[in-house]
Structure 1
Amino acid sequence: MKYAVWGLLVLSSLMLLVIVLRNRGGGRLLSALGLNVVVAAFLLYTLNLLSAYTHMDLPINTATIGTVTVLGVPGLLLLVGLKLTLL
């Protein structure tokens, strides 16, 4: 069962990649998404690097990178606000 789920995941990922790359704007979409992910990881890394001064550290995981990728700097501020408020 475990191998079937992994096989289905790999197959669906490859099919999605083929569909995206066959369109004319697909490469541009993937490069923009990749750039946003890199910028989000850089922002989170910079925040963690400055945590000695700010006493604010956020984990670099899928949820935080996804939030900052989609929302940008306001997403980073949202995560900092949630950390200050809830924790």
Structure 2
Amino acid sequence: MYLKFILWGLLLFSSLMLLLIVFRNRSAGKLLSALGLNVVIAAFLLYVLNLLSTYTHVELPINTATLGTVTVLGIPGVLLLAGLKLALL
């Protein structure tokens, strides 16, 4: 039971520290907004790929690993994951 309060406290503390950093340094806010935009675009790309899975026969799950790969690599990341899925499975 105490672990739940500790985790909530840690989440609140880290969120407040993140807000403090963003408001003190404007370039950090730009970096975080760019990262957030990349994550949204990556999720959209994976969602569209899954919508077109009836035509492409490639279905990738939207989870942390695939989302992180596509966020960092972009469209080549989608192609990499699709190639890995086809080659390994």
TM over 0.5: yes
Aligned equivalent of 2:9, options 7, 25, 28? 7
Unaligned runs of 5+ in 1: none
Deviating 4+ runs (over 3 angstroms)? none
Which residue of structure 2 lines up, in the alignment, with residue 41 of structure 1?
Answer: 43
TM normalised by structure 1 equals: 0.86
Aligned equivalent of 1:64, options 63, 66, 69? 66
TM normalised by structure 2 equals: 0.84
Amino acid at match of 1:25: S
Secondary structure, aligned partner of 2:26: coil
Q: Among all aligned residue pairs of Structure 1 and Structure 2, give the percentage whose two residues are the same amino acid.
A: 76
Looking at structure 1, the residues matched to 24 and 65 of structure 2 have their Cα atoms a distance apart, in angstroms, of 29
Q: What count of residue pairs does the alignment treat as equivalent? A: 87
Unaligned runs of 5+ in 2: none
